[in-house]
């Protein structure tokens, strides 16, 4: 088949198992753990490799920040035959004790607007239950906390998640975001998860989210550089081990 428009990928280039990372440079960390990784392309924010992990063919790609570009990545990977999708990234935690640990949400609140271009607001953004279970087990093997609470996905970083010069000039009270989210039992906030979960359901793709809590609300706390580097590597290995273990549970898996 011809190459996709933005990822510049063809069906023969892509595995049924795809890991999505927001950061293109995190993909470079991931690829270090693959055997025979081949770069499919690096087009705009989309950095894509396919290789093997414990014998399983795996594709890793980046989405950039936010839901619009994540939708492009999901669409084009689906066009190439994706059957299992894992969003792997970082998240803003609303619980201080989760800093440096993991949130693997069972569902996400759809406060981004890209998913609305696909389906009405009352359609849920829910992860695949079995996939969530597999990922949670892999997190716990590392003696880390795994919180399966609700995620909240937003569009505006400096308007809703982090104070900026402009938000102060406009007298925006960023704390309202966190007060409301906590009242709803939300444990983490990001900019991609609900879109990816919604599209996964619509596509019939088994989808889940694995996120490292790297910062706290309004960046009042965050991982230091050494902790962040160590965390990114651990995050990558958990993602790959989760994909591999999930492939073993799929009766129709064609490795």
Phi, psi (5° rounding) for residue 247?
Answer: -60, -35
Are 31 and 49 in contact, with CB atoms under 8 Å apart? yes
Backbone angles phi, psi at 60, to 5 degrees: -125, 135
- d(CA 146, CA 104) in angstroms, rounded, equals 7
Helices (runs of H) and strands (runs of E) counted in the chain: 8, 12
Q: Can you tell me the distance from the alpha carbon of 233 to that of 237, in angstroms, rounded to the nearest whole number? A: 6
Please tell me what DSSP assigns to residue 231.
H
Give the pTM: 0.96
The rounded radius of gyration (Å) of the Cα atoms in the chain is 17
Q: Tens-digit pLDDT profile for the chain (255 aa)?
A: 689 999 999 999 999 999 999 999 999 999 999 999 999 999 999 999 999 999 999 999 999 999 999 999 999 999 999 999 999 999 999 999 999 999 999 999 999 999 999 999 999 999 999 999 999 999 999 999 999 999 999 999 999 999 999 999 999 999 999 999 999 999 999 999 999 999 999 999 999 999 999 999 999 999 999 999 999 999 999 999 999 999 999 865 444
Torsion of CA 163, 164, 166, 171, to 10 degrees: 20
Q: Is-contact 127 197, C-beta < 8 A?
A: yes
Domains detected in the chain: 11-249 (3.40.50.1580)
134-164 burial code (b ≥16 CB/10 A, e <16): bbbebbeeeebebbbbbbbbbbbeebbbbee
* Cβ-Cβ contacts under 8 Å for 136 (sequence gap 6 or more): 104, 146, 148
Q: Going by C-beta distance under 8 Å and a sequence separation of 6 or more, which residues neighbour residue 47?
A: 24, 25, 27, 28, 39, 41, 61, 62
């Amino acid at each position: 088949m011809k190459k996709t428009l933005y990822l510049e990928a063809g069906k023969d280039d892509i595995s049924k198992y795809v890991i999505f990372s927001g950061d293109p440079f995190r993909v470079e960390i991931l690829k270090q753990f693959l055997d025979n990784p081949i770069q499919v392309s690096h087009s705009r924010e989309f950095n894509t490799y396919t290789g093997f992990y414990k014998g399983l063919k795996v594709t890793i790609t980046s989405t950039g920040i936010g839901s619009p570009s994540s939708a492009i990545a999901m669409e084009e990977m689906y066009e190439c035959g994706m059957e299992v999708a894992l969003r792997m990234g970082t998240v803003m935690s609303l619980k201080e004790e989760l800093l440096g640990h993991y949130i693997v949400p069972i569902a996400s609140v759809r406060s981004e607007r890209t998913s609305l271009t696909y389906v009405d607001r009352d359609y849920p953004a829910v992860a695949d239950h079995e996939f969530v279970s597999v990922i949670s087990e892999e997190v716990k093997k590392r003696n880390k906390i795994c919180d399966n609470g609700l995620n909240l996905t937003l569009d505006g970083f400096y308007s809703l998640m982090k104070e900026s010069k402009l938000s102060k000039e406009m007298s925006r009270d960023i704390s309202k975001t966190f007060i409301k989210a906590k009242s709803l039992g939300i444990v983490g906030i990001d900019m991609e998860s609900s879109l990816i979960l919604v599209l996964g359901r619509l596509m019939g793709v088994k989808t889940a989210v694995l996120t490292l809590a790297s910062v706290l609300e309004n960046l009042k706390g965050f991982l230091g550089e050494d902790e962040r580097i160590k965390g990114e590597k651990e995050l990558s290995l958990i993602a790959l081990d989760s994909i591999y273990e999930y492939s073993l549970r799929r009766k129709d898996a064609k490795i």
